């Protein structure tokens, strides 16, 4: 797909990725409730013409040694498991895990 703003120099190619960018799941059973939130393939592009940085925020490229085993890790992932209690109103968090991937942020201050 090509984004065209009139002249040939403003023509940019847009690539689409078939993965879900935001994925949220909730699992409820008698003893536990679990929440999972995943952010993948989030990218913010610069809308100005002829800018030095066409992409403002993106996932950083992995180091050369990890390129072989790089398999599209999510940008941010959070898992929360909460125990459902019948005898108390105080929620008990059984497990909370978060993981983040390195991002590249480019800002033109000129």
Domain assignment of residue 110, yes or no? no
Per-residue pLDDT of the chain (110 residues; tens, 9 = 90+): 555 555 556 666 666 555 667 889 999 999 999 999 988 777 777 777 777 777 777 777 666 665 555 556 777 899 999 999 888 888 899 999 999 877 777 776 65
Which pTM was predicted? 0.58
The tally of domains found in the chain comes to 1
Domain assignment of residue 48, yes or no? yes
Q: State how far the Cα of 8 lies from the Cα of 89, in Å rounded to an integer.
A: 64
Domain assignment of residue 70, yes or no? yes
Domain assignment of residue 66, yes or no? yes
Domain assignment of residue 30, yes or no? yes
Domain assignment of residue 11, yes or no? no
Domain assignment of residue 10, yes or no? no
* Residue 82 CB neighbours (<10 A): 16
Domain assignment of residue 3, yes or no? no
Domain containing residue 60 = 18-105
What DSSP assignment string belongs to 34-52?
EEEEEE-S--EE--STT-S
């Amino acid at each position: 797909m090509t984004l065209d703003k009139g002249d040939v120099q403003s023509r940019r190619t847009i690539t689409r990725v078939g993965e879900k960018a935001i994925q949220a799941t909730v699992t409820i059973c008698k003893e536990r409730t679990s929440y999972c939130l995943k952010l993948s393939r989030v990218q913010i592009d610069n809308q100005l013409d002829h800018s030095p940085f066409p992409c403002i925020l993106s996932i950083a490229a992995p180091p050369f040694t990890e390129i072989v085993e790089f398999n599209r890790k999510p940008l941010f992932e959070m898992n929360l498991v909460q125990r459902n209690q019948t005898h108390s109103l105080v929620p008990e968090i059984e497990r909370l895990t978060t993981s983040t991937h390195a991002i590249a942020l480019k800002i033109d201050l000129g």
